[in-house]
Amino acid sequence: MKRINGEIWPDAEGNEIHAHGGCRLAFGKALYWYGEDRRGDAYVSCYQSLDGGKTWRFVRHILTADSPVKKIHEGRDLSLRNSDGNRVNIERPKVIYNRNTGKFILWAHYEDGINYHAARCAVASCDTPDGDFVYHGSFRPVGYMSRDCTLFVDGDRIYFLSASEHNRDLHLYRLTKDGLDVEVFVQKLFAGQSREAPAVIQKDGKYLLVTSFCTGWKPNQCAYAVADRMEGEWSENLPLGDATTYLSQPAFLYEREDGEIVYFGDRWGGNAFAESAFDRSQFDYQKSAYVGYRLVFRDGKAELIHSHEAFL
Ligand code: DGJ
């Protein structure tokens, strides 16, 4: 199915896909696409594709304001509604399969739906990729602020990256074997550079980390850094794409069967917001759309290829 960058994309039933700031998981014969759905009491939607990502069928909301809750650690806030009884914000949900335990783990960014002061991560888990996830609460990892985030599986290790210290620094954490807690704060990356929307991929022995700058919903120029090991030294940030990363912010990166890398991003507010030259009064989250661009990663250098039609 042909998809145009920035246009509304329908699912297999013709309904608009709501899966922002999300992630993609290959499991068994299926692909799963998870992301934010900010309508009503829905938090995280799950779509499944059985044709390699051409069509996506909505499966269910795997996390909602009414999800089951299970306390697994002290000191975590288990509420899925705020003090007014309204929805909270569960942003940038990332789901991975934890081969150590056979469970599916979800980490996301939690805010109380009133402001962006909580700066916490949120954790949930499930026995299946598309079942009802059980919520284990929100907290600050090792006491640090935590906003935009991603998960990355590297062999039997699971990493969590999130923007900390009022978004000034990006933190890299290694998780416990069960993937439900932080084992160790590995390192601070790009101190003072205000990077967010992290996305990681490993290819040909190199790790590539793409981030955006912090400008709210308005797009800016992304940057990339390269390392030989997640816990090793990361290169300096180099620019990626044009001044607005072709009107997008990263959600995730994935490798296609033919070895090509896809940069999958959100166009917050959709083409309407871009056309208003990012006038904040014109911003409507529900009009947000997606982009897929080809990312060429060779000899430690990355380049983003602009296209009208999505490269997926
Ligand atoms: C940019 C972040 O990347 C988004 O996930 C969201 O938190 C917006 N900021 C909110 O302004």
Residue 42 token pair: 């829905």
Per-residue pLDDT of 130-173, as tens digits, reads: 999 999 999 999 999 999 999 999 999 999 999 999 999 999 99
* pLDDT attached to residue 251: 99
Contact of 147 with 116, CB cutoff 8 Å: yes
Residues 6+ apart with CB under 8 A from 78: 69, 71, 135, 136, 137
Dihedral, 108, 112, 118, 122 alpha carbons, nearest 10: -20
> 92, 149, 244: which to mutate for ligand 1, most atoms within 8 A of CB?
92
Contact of 148 with 163, CB cutoff 8 Å: yes
204 CA → ligand 1 middle, Å: 31
- Provide the percentage of residues in the chain whose pLDDT is more than 70: 100
For atom 1 of ligand 1, which residue has the closest CA? 216
Domain borders along the chain are: 20-305
Per-residue pLDDT of 39-70, as tens digits, reads: 999 999 999 999 999 999 999 999 999 999 99
The alpha carbon of residue 277 and the mean position of all alpha carbons in its chain are separated, in whole angstroms, by 25
Per-residue pLDDT of 254-309, as tens digits, reads: 999 999 999 999 999 999 999 999 999 999 999 999 999 999 999 999 999 999 99
- 92 pocket-lining for ligand 1 (C-beta < 6 Å): yes
Q: How far apart are CA 62 and CA 54, in angstroms?
A: 22
- 52 pocket-lining for ligand 1 (C-beta < 6 Å): no
Query: 272 phi and psi, to 5 degrees?
Result: -60, -45
Per-residue pLDDT of 75-98, as tens digits, reads: 999 999 999 999 999 999 999 999
216 CA → ligand 1 middle, Å: 5
Residue 1 has pLDDT above 90, yes or no: no
Residue 233 has pLDDT above 90, yes or no: yes
pLDDT band at 34 (very low <50, low <70, confident <90, very high): very high
Q: Which atom of ligand 1 is nearest to the CA of 89?
A: 7
* pLDDT attached to residue 35: 98
- 217 pocket-lining for ligand 1 (C-beta < 6 Å): yes
Architecture label for domain 20-305: 5 Propeller (2.115)
